[in-house]
Amino acid sequence: MFFWLIGLISLKISLKIADFLGKAVCRLVPKYRQIAIDNLNMVFSDNLEGNVRIAENVFSNLAKNGAEWVKLSVMDPKKFDSVVTETEGLERLDKVLTAGRGAVILGFHFGNWELLGFALRSRGYKGALIARRIYFHKYDKFVNRLRMRFDARVIYREESPKRMLRELKEGGVLGVLADQDIDSIGGTFVDFFGKSAYTPQAPVKIAMAAKTQIVPIFIVRKKDNTHKLIVEDIIDVAGADNTEENIKHYTQVWTNVLEKYVRKYPEQWVWLHKRWKTAKTEKK
């Protein structure tokens, strides 16, 4: 019934409601509001008053993401171009794929990141995305149903790496989100906004193993609430030796790309996550 009702409301109205609700929730969940503000204050220490407004807009963006996911669950997939209306740099991805070894698509918890796989699939790119299982059953069921509508295949993080490499060997794209501090997986410390941040090594290691390249891609929410897909410069790790020094170097390279976008669009990144929670002393 809820989805049916959402189907009767235009996306434009849904997003206006989401903006209001997101900013209201920002005040109703002080724990996560404070995490966002503390992170922002640490990074943008000269903008303390403005950081409160950015935090509110972060919640607004997340609520808009949710509204779009619900709307997409009842929308004809053929109309997806009305959501992601603009692309830039797809020729970079095409160039990588011509080598026949696939491409590691590096996405981020930025904008409405779930749209990234849908946008590529709707434009004819084949492949899969690496995801972790969501243990809140109803949410997991909803997200997977949404992915199925747009033919976005999932490889769970705990599955065999051979399956991931097979996607690349067959010339497809393999999407991964790697911008959070997850101490249960392998990582390395790199500089992020001038502070040491424990960062997953998986994108670099997978690309090296497959002898292919990393392609950072962002989904940017525009002022009119449509989205732009931006393919950034290729990070060529194909010929690099699999050494700790090289893994750290290329992880720093893509982290620098992320930092550039977060500085430009701070309200579109998920500041609610404790990005700098792991200290170097905790990792021997």
Per-residue pLDDT tens over the stretch 144-178: 777 877 777 888 888 888 999 999 999 999 999 99
The predicted pLDDT at position 9 comes to 84
Mean pLDDT of 43-62: 96
Q: Per-domain residue ranges for the chain?
A: 1-75, 83-282
Mean pLDDT calculated for residue range 31-54: 96
Question: pTM for this structure?
Answer: 0.92
- Report the C-alpha gap between 176 and 130 in whole angstroms: 5
Question: What pLDDT is attached to residue 79?
Answer: 84
DSSP state of 269: B
C-alpha gyration radius of the chain: 19
Q: Show the DSSP H helices in the chain as ranges.
A: 2-8, 11-28, 30-43, 48-72, 90-97, 114-122, 137-149, 161-169, 202-210, 244-264
Taking CA atoms, 189 is separated from 43, 186, 259, in Å, by 17, 11, 15
pLDDT of residue 136: 66
Give the separation between CA 34 and CA 189, rounded to whole angstroms. Answer: 25
Which of residues 6 and 84 earns the better pLDDT score? 84
Average pLDDT over residues 241-263: 97
Contact 216, 59 (CB under 8 A): no
C-alpha distances out from residue 250 to 172, 179, 203, Å? 22, 14, 9
Is the pLDDT at 7 greater than 70? The verdict is no
Residue 252 and residue 190 in contact, taking contact as beta carbons nearer than 8 Å: yes
